Structure 1
């Protein structure tokens, strides 16, 4: 196994030279990606509509092609889902990644071309390993198995076109992995693609606890649930009693800071390593390339062309859009992407701040809207407001104001939840029914929240503070110097900064 580990480490380190090239020549690499994308898609339906044949520069692109959100891309995507080809990308698209929805739909379906699979998602996974073994040459990563914990990984054929399939991005990737990668991972593909989470966690635990697991990759939320179950089954006090050679957790999707303490309890080793990635249904964007850093190297040669909208321009009808060479360190930007999967000048909803421009490194700073995504649930304000409305209607309540935030995992056997402070001018006639209706509405509206709430396994029921004495939010806004018509109570926050200060005022 040591010979295989040495060989695989050498193979993955070969890529480091190419990564160094785009670090040294970022603008040239991005311009090459840009022209490749325009040339490839000029004969597509989208390319003809927006005159790709006449585009000679990024400035032409900016003039010719408007910024698109999901609703604006959706008609083209739906055509492709029905089986029409050459609509947004020249090669055949038969895979779609399902992710949480927008205001108008419960779920989004993101096209996944063969190019985006191979040159973006697969390449990102390989580069994660390349950077890891380059930083840790003593790694024994390839002497054992990699535990891959996907999301809600069921794969289905589309109702409107049985020749196309969809699942979350982890399912699409797992189903299309090359043979060598399938052999290196655990659990079995059949188990990994199960959709019934209670049974899936049980089977994953029983399959993997006998393996020699060296690495884990996944969302912290479900990783915690799995590790806790394995410890129960093996009567272990920590996971190193089960997997003594475990050396790294590759994580993404949600901020890791709130989970760090719990992971140190589950994996009590100072030599345990943690490496962050930034990937989504739309693409693979960043990888932590330095030890003990929370900065992510922006990956520039994955078939994605990047543009950025300064957040102080976000709400304008015609916002200024910047190419990579014009960004500045420390400023907040909305991320705009054009991809080899057929997304064009697409707003993915994330915001980033650059920490370095030589090379280009970022931190994920949030979303373009208020949200909660502490556990991968991606609850946005529109979801919360609709759920509040449904619960209030069902219980005769009148809501004055509200805010919500996550309750993070507490202790090795704790669960996460959402905590709400809701102020009423007319209280609900039944608080228990209000809570049930709110939770049920969120589950109906948001498929990712629904997945995390499944049988209370990752997210527990919401904790709601029913406030009938009016004025708590006004008092809080006044204490912050934010009282006035132009200032609004933040409906959702991905941390506890707001809610904890309001709870203090309520004592």
Structure 2
């Protein structure tokens, strides 16, 4: 065992022990965060506009600060981009995280001196908790790859600006930099296909022990490695033992990925975003993600069914229930206030507080009042794939197909397989039945002959990749929406498939 692996066990024990105070006193931790950030932002433009000086309780905050998304706060963010200081947080942000939002176009999310530790420590502690639980630290002696965006930063309003993964790359601890792959030069390549070729060239002969990234892009890396060598990943990287991922639900990709690897490896799911690092999996046998309640973020939770109400209920951590879908709203030391990040979560544990990411609040299908969400289509697909073990899924999305004829409208599932199910009609039938189990409104519409059974459109291999490339969103942290309430994405994929 190398020095890094040996020392990490002591660091892991220290961090785990330090966590226990806020894990065991979650309400106190959140109340302390609430008081601290309100106090620090009192003299900012936002704080004055929203009377922070009079806010003492959460009820006061709810009255003073409405829930808004990026567009709702854009007047403040635009002032930050123009170089003004003391707008939503004291001083100026040290970074702007540039992200192509699925609903907002390009967004510029502030990252402050106070909030950057949340991003860095969240990722670090996910690894340290894993080491503390499993005792496995040998991966720190090998090479670690983080498939991420370019670390090249531009300036907007005098503030360094770039992709979150590129920004975080500048803060990788020095003791890991000698292990980190790919090289800085390769990481700076913007074109994903060229970058992937260079990554493979640099890593194919290395002792890769940890691989991290969004599952579909990691799978692309694996596919290219296997084509080039004719080997499975376990034979290319025999010491590969830990996969770290986030950004999308892993379940639709799990089967193919582990078949590509050729054996089981441990994995850690994380819940990062440009707005903050919210949670990570801290136990291998529990898929729930530990919600970080002492990291500069104050959380609110809106029951999904109330989200679009004029005055939705805004719950604090002590008021949530198990197995209910909530829209996640944050206020933080990044200068985000009553900010709806767009994700929905469901609590799997209240001691400690653990969540799963269940979908996107604006990603749903409700052309006929069914309100089908991401979690439901992913579970339906997962259950169906288990009954068709020879099929291999690459990617999928779902869109409504609305017809003027009664009972002729349906949900269209656009699916790319690496191995198509042997009996596609049976696959469609099973997928439809599984979705009926997941969503009672959908079931009512099907049994009432208002909606026809779903239809699967099999797309040629490479369609999703080519579509993302055509949109300038190939690789990095980009991901395909799992479902949408219009046909824009569906028609774009169909058009690409015809080329």
Q: TM-score band (shorter)? A: 0.7 to 0.9
8 Å CA contact 1:404–1:491 kept in 2: the answer is: no
Q: What residue is the counterpart of 1:173 in the other structure?
A: 168
Q: What residue is the counterpart of 1:229 in the other structure?
A: 224
Matched, 1:260 2:254: yes
Question: What pairs up with 1:381-400 in 2 under 5 angstroms?
Answer: none
Q: What residue is the counterpart of 1:397 in the other structure?
A: none
Q: What residue is the counterpart of 1:204 in the other structure?
A: 199
Matched, 1:294 2:284: no
Of 134, 141, 154, the match for 1:157: 154
Of 248, 254, 273, the match for 2:266: 273
TM-score when scaled to structure 2?
0.75
Aligned partners of 1:402 and 1:156: how far apart in 2?
45
How many angstroms does 1:288 deviate by? Answer: 0.8
How many angstroms does 1:267 deviate by? Answer: 1.1
How many angstroms does 1:156 deviate by? Answer: 4.1
Q: What residue is the counterpart of 1:410 in the other structure?
A: 418
Q: What residue is the counterpart of 1:89 in the other structure?
A: 89
CA gap 1:405/1:293 in 2 versus in 1, 3 angstroms: farther
Aligned partners of 2:63 and 2:395: how far apart in 1?
36
8 Å CA contact 2:109–2:274 kept in 1: the answer is: yes
Aligned partners of 2:79 and 2:398: how far apart in 1?
27
Aligned partners of 1:453 and 1:126: how far apart in 2?
23
Deviation readout 1:446-495 (Å, 9 max, x if unpaired) = x99631389xxx999x9xxxxxxxxxxxxxxxxxxxxxxxxxx955899x
Q: What residue is the counterpart of 1:430 in the other structure?
A: none
Aligned partners of 2:417 and 2:475: how far apart in 1?
14
Aligned partners of 1:102 and 1:276: how far apart in 2?
22
**Divergent runs of 4+, >3 A:** 371-381, 400-406, 447-450, 489-494
Matched, 1:450 2:449: no
CA gap 1:142/1:184 in 2 versus in 1, 3 angstroms: same
How many angstroms does 1:401 deviate by? Answer: 6.2
8 Å CA contact 1:219–1:376 kept in 2: the answer is: no
How many angstroms does 1:351 deviate by? Answer: 0.8
Deviation readout 1:339-381 (Å, 9 max, x if unpaired) = 1111101001111111111111111111112257999999998
Q: What residue is the counterpart of 1:315 in the other structure?
A: 308
How many angstroms does 1:145 deviate by? Answer: 1.7
Per mean C-alpha deviation after superposition, the further-off stretch among 289-298 and 305-314 is: 289-298
CA gap 1:140/1:411 in 2 versus in 1, 3 angstroms: farther
Tell me the secondary structure at the aligned position of residue 284 of structure 1.
strand
Tell me the secondary structure at the aligned position of residue 32 of structure 1.
helix
8 Å CA contact 2:119–2:168 kept in 1: the answer is: yes
CA gap 1:182/1:2 in 2 versus in 1, 3 angstroms: closer
Aligned partners of 2:212 and 2:419: how far apart in 1?
21
8 Å CA contact 2:302–2:328 kept in 1: the answer is: yes
Deviation readout 1:323-343 (Å, 9 max, x if unpaired) = 110011111111000111111
8 Å CA contact 1:51–1:64 kept in 2: the answer is: yes
Of 325, 350, 355, the match for 2:348: 355
Deviation readout 1:203-244 (Å, 9 max, x if unpaired) = 1111112221111111011111112222333x1421122211
Q: What residue is the counterpart of 1:502 in the other structure?
A: none
Question: What pairs up with 1:456-475 in 2 under 5 angstroms?
Answer: none
Matched, 1:191 2:190: no
Question: What pairs up with 1:311-350 in 2 under 5 angstroms?
Answer: 311-350=304-343
Aligned partners of 2:474 and 2:395: how far apart in 1?
7
Q: What residue is the counterpart of 1:497 in the other structure?
A: none
Deviation readout 1:78-137 (Å, 9 max, x if unpaired) = 11111111101114314111222355x42111111122211x100111111111101210
Per mean C-alpha deviation after superposition, the further-off stretch among 180-189 and 198-207 is: 180-189
Matched, 1:135 2:133: yes
CA gap 1:453/1:206 in 2 versus in 1, 3 angstroms: closer
CA gap 1:351/1:16 in 2 versus in 1, 3 angstroms: same
Aligned partners of 1:25 and 1:164: how far apart in 2?
37
8 Å CA contact 1:370–1:491 kept in 2: the answer is: no
CA gap 1:491/1:27 in 2 versus in 1, 3 angstroms: same
Matched, 1:214 2:209: yes
Per mean C-alpha deviation after superposition, the further-off stretch among 6-15 and 322-331 is: 6-15
Q: What residue is the counterpart of 2:31 in the other structure?
A: 31
Q: Structure 1: which 5+ runs fail to align?
A: 389-399, 413-418, 420-434, 463-488, 495-507
Aligned partners of 2:130 and 2:340: how far apart in 1?
30
